[in-house]
Amino acid sequence: MPSLREIARRKTSVQATMQITRTMEMVSTAKIRLALERAKQAEPYKDAITRMLANVASAARSTEQPLLETHAVEDKVLFILVASDRGLAGGFNVVPQREVEREIARLERRGVSCSLITCGRKPTEYFTYRGRKPDMSFVGISSEPTMDEAERIASFVMDGYANDGVDRVMLYYSHARNRVDQEFVVEQLLPLSSQDLTMPNGPRTPEAVSSVEHEANTVYSFHPSASEVLDRLIPAYITTVIYHALLDSAAAEHGARRRAMQSATENARAVIENLNRTYNRVRQGSITTELNEIAGGASALEES
């Protein structure tokens, strides 16, 4: 049985930890509102450019655009993994890291070469430690992503795909459904498909794609040419999708950390309650022992 001093020391330590987790929960609660607002503000632009590109691409079917063409042979796949710079967010980093790792292992068993772009310190360290250095990595800005980051990633993947250096590009990130719930999302960024170009706001899950109402194509006249219009629209579209994923992941990170810290605070509170019961039980036993010793001593004096 631990002593009263040991129990009191343990209780003080848990109380200090609970104060930290409670503070982190409050900070994440404040940040998630702003992060969700940023993601929501980017949705109308993403929706508009997606519909515009869909209409232009369908109206200019005869135009050859490398990013709209599917490669005959899939020899190399590029993964873009968006996660966090910090931990203490439950499975926010672990789930996508392991999912990408499993998919890479599956493809490499088939002889497909795989490369990686990481956004966040945690995934960068995770794969670097395992001997897979990312082609590009971004750290220190997971909670405040920038358009510059999205543009650099978009430029890299488009150049690789257009020059046959990459045959498929996959985007992995966490979608913030609201302040409480997050879901893991996998999207094919390149090559572009008809389903991708008819998908409005939000992640392109199978359920969301099936619910889209396909609109009749508008007749367009292009100046100077359909090819030049697509050359401008497609990079803007790719950049927008990546930037929205970064914003969405930032909101999901704060939500996941808030939930993890809330759970940690509740667990700490339960531990403190158990320690209080143990402390009272040990203290009561100590008092009872002392009373018995006093009574025994008094009886011994009377007998003498």
Sheet of strand 168-176: strand arrangement: 136-138, 113-119, 76-82, 168-176, 182-190
Query: pLDDT tens digits, residue range 162-178?
Result: 888 899 999 999 988 77
Q: Where are the beta strands (DSSP E) in the chain?
A: 76-82, 113-119, 136-138, 168-176, 182-190
Q: What is the pLDDT of residues 135-154, one digit of tens each?
A: 999 998 888 888 899 999 99
pLDDT digits (tens, 9 = 90+) for 76-120: 999 999 999 888 888 889 999 999 999 999 999 999 999 999 999
Q: Which amino acid would we find at residue 114?
A: C
Looking at residue 298, what is its pLDDT?
65
Model confidence pLDDT, tens digit, residues 6-55: 888 888 888 898 889 888 888 888 888 888 888 888 778 787 777 777 77
Asked if the model's pLDDT at residue 228 lies above 80, the reply is no
Q: For residue 296, with 0-12 CB atoms within 10 Å meaning exposed, 13-18 middle and 19 or more buried, which class applies? A: exposed
Query: Could you tell me which residue, 202 or 117, shows the higher pLDDT?
Result: 117
Burial label, 139 (beta-carbon count in 10 A; 0-12, 13-18, 19+): middle
CA distance 79 to 133: 12
- The residue with greater pLDDT, 46 or 218, is 46
Residue 243 has pLDDT above 50, yes or no: yes
pLDDT at residue 206 greater than cutoff 50: no
pTM: 0.78
